[in-house]
Amino acid sequence: MNTELQSFDPATGEEVGRVAVTPIAEIPNIVARAHAAQRAWGELTVEERRDAILPFGADLVAESERIGTILTREMGKPLPQGIGEAKYCGAGLGDTLNELTSALSAERLEDEKVLSHLVFDPFGVCAAITPWNFPLSMPHWALMPALMAGNAVVLKPSEKTPLVADEYVKLLKKHLPTDVVQIIHGDEAQGRALVGADVQLIAFTGSRAAGQNILAEAGKDLKRVILELGGKDPLIVLDDADLDAAAEFAVTNSFRNAGQVCVSTERIYVEEKVANRFEELVREKTAALKVGPGTEEGAQIGPMIDAGQRDHVLAQIDAAKSAGATVLAGGGASTGNFIQPTVLTGVTHDMAVMSEETFGPVVGIQRVSSDEEAITAANDSPYGLGASVFGGDLDRAERVARRLTAGMVGINKGCGGASGSPWVGARQSGYGYHSGREGHRQFAQVRVVSRMK
């Protein structure tokens, strides 16, 4: 790799900026500095850590327009979403920190004879390795619990979005002792070196393939890992569903962030009885979407992150068409890194578009003849991140939802849970999880300290 990492605007190909690549040989020294800084940080109470970090939220909100603009230029998503990502993390920080404080405070347990306290201690140094699709919120969801648990953190953001990560860390560092948070730049090589360094916890969000590799490497020293991986989320449309709402959800959730979302709807199973009407609604709503650069007024669908991702998506569309899929919308028209949102019908699980993560503005619709067939098809995947079921009879929809092998299932909605819920993938979509009381606690070593009463 070069000594500099260039960041390109995926909408125009222009350079947005560049950062220095961290030499591999430097990484052990960076981690050693993190250990030195962690000692005092880890000795603070969780409330003291909360109070130190809290003002960062207001900083992030105040800077959200500037940072969100960098995010959009670097990653491509519509500007309101870029700014919204920064604002959301900043504005919600108080609640996030309070939830973390409660989860990481000692918990008292007792029976007739023994009094115990569960205490939550830092592991040491946490390696946070993050992707480009939510280039600010992904680092945020790793750093906040890791820091609150008393760890020091070395962040390795995606090589495709280094600038926004740099801005995030610069703001955060103002509130922390030196070296409690550090950032390194580079690609997989720097990521591998960080995993192999003297870190005790690896919080990774990214692809299944990289996750497998990290788990294998970390296993050599039994390092703790939290892996948030890819998905191939299904949507089931039952024959009593509100079809307009189901189609609206399908289009929004398949094409948000140009489909570059881990919990995008990528497969739809619709019951025969309502399939014609549902497909027509999806076609109409898809045709109304506006594709364009994230900085353009009203643009809803931005570009693919780069040419490699564009080619991967187009190859899946072409292969599906060659194998007999019908194009309901889009179908592979592209300009630069932009792809017209595409809906395919007549798809099967033999096609990559229905079995491998697409991570683009493409969704396949398959007709099914019963709830049972829908469940079997939805579960026919190595992934298990999110899923949704749309249906009018909530008991029936709930019965279907409970049989889906996903970590998060939404009924007549997306997969996210009420506040305090974990963000969790089943099967090969995750290993460990974050958020919610139990998720927060995965960033800490729980110890049980007991005495006789």
Q: Which of 69, 213, 252, 348 binds ligand NAD (CB under 6 A)?
A: 213
Q: Which of 82, 122, 425, 439 binds ligand NAD (CB under 6 A)?
A: 425
**228 is known as an active-site residue:** yes
Q: Which one-letter DSSP state was computed for residue 229?
A: -
**At 344, which helix (H) or strand (E)?**
strand 342-345
Burial (CB count within 10 angstroms: exposed 0-12, middle 13-18, buried 19+), residue 339: buried
Backbone dihedral region for residue 225 (phi beyond 0: left; psi -120 to 50: alpha; all else: beta): beta
Residue with nearest beta carbon to ligand NAD: 191
Count residues binding ligand NAD (CB under 6 A): 31
Q: Does 231 participate in binding ligand NAD (rule CB under 6 A)? A: yes
Binding span for ligand NAD by CB under 6 A among 92-100, 101-109, 227-235, 292-300: 227-235
> What residues numbered 323-342 form the site for ligand NAD, per CB under 6 A?
none
Using CB under 6 A as the binding rule, whether residue 242 contacts ligand NAD is answered as no
Q: How far is the CB of 388 from ligand NAD (least distance, A)?
A: 16
Q: Cα angle at 79 between 280 and 436, to 5 degrees?
A: 85
Under the criterion CB under 6 A, does residue 379 sit at the interface with ligand NAD? no
Residue 21 has φ and ψ, to the nearest 5°, of: -75, 140
* Residue 391 DSSP code: -
Tokens for 311, please give them.
């080619």
Q: Decide: is 188 part of the binding site for ligand NAD (CB under 6 A).
A: yes
Residue type at position 366: Q
Cβ closer to ligand NAD: 262 or 375? 262
**Choice from 56, 132, 255, 443 touching ligand NAD (CB under 6 A):** 132
Contact status: 317 vs ligand NAD (CB under 6 A): no
Residue of 10, 78, 82, 131 that binds ligand NAD (CB under 6 A): 131
Query: Does position 198 bind ligand NAD by CB under 6 A?
Result: no
- CA dist 58 and 62 (Å) reads 6
Rule CB under 6 A: say whether 210 interacts with ligand NAD. yes
Pairing verdict, β 342-345 and 326-329: antiparallel
φ, ψ for residue 233 (rounded to 5)?
-65, 135
Binding mask 99-128 for ligand NAD (x = CB under 6 A): ------------------------------
**Interaction of residue 303 with ligand NAD, rule CB under 6 A:** no
Residue 255 in contact with ligand NAD, rule: CB under 6 A: no
CA pair distance 320, 356, nearest whole angstrom: 12
Least Cβ distance, residue 242 to ligand NAD (angstroms): 28
Spatial separation of the C-alpha atoms in residues 164 and 89, rounded to whole Å: 14
Q: Which of 147, 385, 406, 426 binds ligand NAD (CB under 6 A)?
A: 385
> Is residue 206 near ligand NAD by the rule CB under 6 A?
yes
Cβ-based nearer residue to ligand NAD, 213 or 405: 213
Q: Look-up: residue for tokens 């992707």? A: 131
Cβ distance 105 to 46 under 8 Å?
yes
Active site residue 297: no
Which one of the listed residues 159, 262, 266, 279 is annotated catalytic? Answer: 262
Parallel, antiparallel, or unpaired for β 386-390 and 326-329? unpaired
DSSP conformation class of 397 = H
Residue 181 CB coordination number (10 Å) = 25
Helix (H, G, I), strand (E, B) or coil at 131: coil
Question: According to the 3-state scheme, what is the secondary structure of 10-28?
Answer: CCCCCEEEEEECCCHHHHH
Q: Could you say which of 82, 139, 145, 191 contacts ligand NAD (CB under 6 A)?
A: 191
Q: Which of 97, 357, 362, 389 forms a contact with ligand NAD (CB under 6 A)?
A: 357
For position 310 contacting ligand NAD by CB under 6 A, the verdict is no
Q: For residues 299 and 10, what is the distance between their CA atoms, to the nearest angstrom?
A: 14
Where does this chain touch ligand NAD (CB under 6 A) — which range of 155-163, 174-182, 340-348, 398-406? 155-163
C-beta separation of 388 from 362 below 8 A? no
63, 159, 228, 271: which one is catalytic?
228
Shortest Å, Cβ 231 to ligand NAD: 6
Whole-number Å distance between alpha carbons of 126 and 400: 39
Task: Say how far apart CA 33 and CA 190 lie, in whole Å.
Answer: 17
Q: Give me the least distance between CB of 144 and ligand NAD, in Å please.
A: 15
Give catalytic residues, as residue numbers. Answer: 228, 262
Q: Which residues would be at the binding site for ligand NAD (CB under 6 A)? A: 129-134, 138, 156-159, 187-188, 191-192, 195, 205-207, 210, 213-214, 228-231, 262, 357, 359, 385, 425
